[in-house]
């Protein structure tokens, strides 16, 4: 095992993993005024700020429709409900991600089929996807769709995945919970695939102060169905039920908060890129640093290293915590090895997902880290572990 040694020759800082407090301090007067407006007009559910937010989100990413909902998991589920998936259907997704993605597939009675990821971008491996589709067919399942997850902030390689989808007549649902605000070869996240789902959980690149989510599509029919599904399957009004739906509306207070955060969002993304560049330059000799595809941008939802083989990750995390540096492991166990999914189909051996889970480590990342903060984190990592 690679040794971990104490370092204590520089003054201790207390670094924030994601600095929501600094962001709030920056726009607190605007937030207070936005919340006051909602309290004054009293339209707490589907108030005017919700419609305004949907219009501005659609314009931001170049999608025809933005349909907000209660959270990012619901955003995925609403799309799958609109696609009508159910028993006997197979939906393909990476094993190296959060449980929300396969969870909604299983809840609707379909089978999540776990696919491996690439070792450099952490996103879906097209070769493994081919294997997964073949495995599903051999089991007698009907392949229906693909959910590439844009992990840690950058889009999956859609130019490699979409031809596979077209060849097999599959729809593509982009899981952009971590990547909203990024881009893929000149196209904004939200305008890729057949439909895109994202999350506004507080720690996401664009986050509210509670739960929230959104679906983006250019398909008029899909948009109409989604608007119906999020309000109990309503038709002309909420007492005219034309389909089985759910209750998944974004509340007006969260929309008002997101409107203010959206104003500063582009600047925050630039600031995070600066932090990522500094980390990459300083840490590339220590660990495998993130790779962003050419002509793509990441929102840096997480800055994730792949530690050298043999590194005692737990000891390193403890050491860094003692120096005021929080870290996290996304994800400590791939989904196909978890109890809830142990009987699900996989695209053969998912060796990359398993290897990454044992070696990844995410560092503090936000647009509010100073140069001194970044230098402090780098110093404690490199001097404490080499």
**Domain containing 309 — which CATH number?**
3.90.1150.10
pLDDT of 108: 98
Average pLDDT for the chain: 96
pLDDT of 5: 42
Tell the residue number behind the tokens 């696919």, with chain if given. Answer: 115
Flag whether 2 is in a domain. Answer: no
End-of-domain residue from the set 241, 260, 279: 260
Residue 286 makes CB contacts below 8 A (sequence gap 6+) with: 305, 308, 381, 382, 385, 386
CA torsion 313→319→320→322, rounded to 10°? 150
What pLDDT digit, counting tens, does each position of 259-308 carry? 999 999 999 999 999 999 999 999 999 999 999 999 999 999 999 999 99
Flag whether 15 is in a domain. Answer: no
Kindly state the average pLDDT of the residues 326-337: 98
pLDDT of 155: 98
What pLDDT digit, counting tens, does each position of 142-189 carry? 999 999 999 999 999 999 999 999 999 999 999 999 999 999 999 999
Residues 221 and 241 in one domain: yes
Residues 123 and 245 in one domain: yes
Range of the domain at 38: 25-260
Higher pLDDT, 206 or 4: 206
- Proportion of the chain above pLDDT 70, given as a percent: 97
> Band of the pLDDT at 4, cuts 50, 70, 90?
very low
Flag whether 3 is in a domain. Answer: no
Distance CA 329, CA 70 (A): 26
Residues 187 and 324 in one domain: no
Residue 173 makes CB contacts below 8 A (sequence gap 6+) with: 76, 79, 80, 83, 145, 146, 147, 193, 194, 195, 196, 197
Distance CA 315, CA 361 (A): 12
The angle, 0 to 180 degrees and rounded to 10, between the axes of the packed helices 371-385 and 313-322 is: 130
Counting the structural domains of the chain, the total is: 2
Residues 229 and 339 in one domain: no
Q: Which two tokens stand for residue 112?
A: 């999540």
Report phi then psi at 288, rounded to 5.
-75, 115
End-of-domain residue from the set 260, 293, 321: 260
CATH of the domain at 253: 3.40.640.10
Residues 144 and 292 in one domain: no
Residues 238 and 284 in one domain: no
Residues 38 and 130 in one domain: yes
pLDDT of 383: 82
Question: Which residue from 368, 380, 379, 386 is spatially nearest to 24, judged by alpha carbons?
Answer: 368
* Contact in structure between 77 and 283 (CB atoms under 8 Å): no
Residues 119 and 254 in one domain: yes
Q: Which two tokens stand for residue 168?
A: 């097999």
Is 70 exceeded by the pLDDT of residue 316?
yes
Is 50 exceeded by the pLDDT of residue 120?
yes
188 pairs with which residues across the strands? 183
Report phi then psi at 369, rounded to 5.
-80, 130
Residues 225 and 144 in one domain: yes
> Is the pTM for the entire model greater than 0.75?
yes
End-of-domain residue from the set 218, 236, 260: 260
């Amino acid at each position: 095992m690679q040794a971990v040694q104490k370092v204590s020759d520089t003054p201790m800082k207390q670094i924030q993993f994601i600095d929501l407090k600094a962001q709030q301090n920056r726009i607190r007067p605007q937030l207070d005024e936005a919340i006051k407006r909602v309290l004054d007009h009293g339209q707490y559910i589907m108030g005017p700020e919700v419609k305004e937010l949907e219009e501005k989100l659609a314009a931001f990413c170049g999608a025809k429709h933005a349909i907000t909902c209660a959270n990012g998991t619901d955003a995925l589920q609403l799309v799958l409900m609109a696609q009508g998936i159910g028993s006997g259907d197979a939906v393909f997704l990476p094993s190296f991600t959060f449980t929300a993605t396969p969870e909604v597939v299983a809840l609707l009675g379909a089978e999540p089929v776990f696919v491996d990821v690439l070792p450099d971008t952490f996103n879906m491996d097209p070769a493994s996807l081919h294997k997964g589709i073949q495995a599903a067919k051999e089991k007698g399942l009907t392949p229906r769709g693909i959910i590439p997850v844009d992990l840690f902030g950058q889009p999956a390689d859609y130019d490699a995945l979409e031809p596979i989808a077209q060849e097999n007549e599959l729809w593509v649902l982009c899981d952009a919970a971590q990547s909203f605000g990024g881009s893929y070869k000149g196209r904004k996240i939200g305008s890729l695939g057949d439909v895109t789902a994202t999350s506004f959980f507080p720690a996401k690149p664009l986050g509210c102060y509670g739960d929230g989510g959104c679906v983006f599509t250019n398909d008029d029919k899909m948009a109409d169905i989604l608007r119906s599904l999020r309000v109990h399957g309503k038709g002309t009004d909420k007492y005219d039920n034309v389909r089985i739906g759910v209750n998944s509306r974004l509340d007006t207070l969260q929309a008002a908060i997101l409107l203010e955060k959206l104003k500063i969002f582009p600047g925050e993304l630039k600031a995070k890129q600066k932090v990522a560049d500094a980390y990459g330059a300083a840490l590339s000799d220590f660990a495998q640093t993130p790779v962003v595809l050419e002509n793509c941008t990441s929102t840096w939802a997480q800055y994730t290293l792949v530690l050298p083989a043999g590194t005692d990750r737990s000891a390193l995390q403890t050491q860094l915590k003692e120096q005021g540096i929080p870290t996290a492991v996304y994800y400590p166990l791939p989904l196909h090895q978890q109890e809830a999914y142990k009987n699900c189909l996989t695209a053969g051996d998912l060796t990359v997902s398993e290897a990454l889970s044992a070696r990844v480590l995410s560092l503090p990342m936000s647009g509010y880290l100073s140069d001194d903060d970044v230098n402090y984190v780098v110093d404690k990592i490199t001097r404490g572990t080499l």
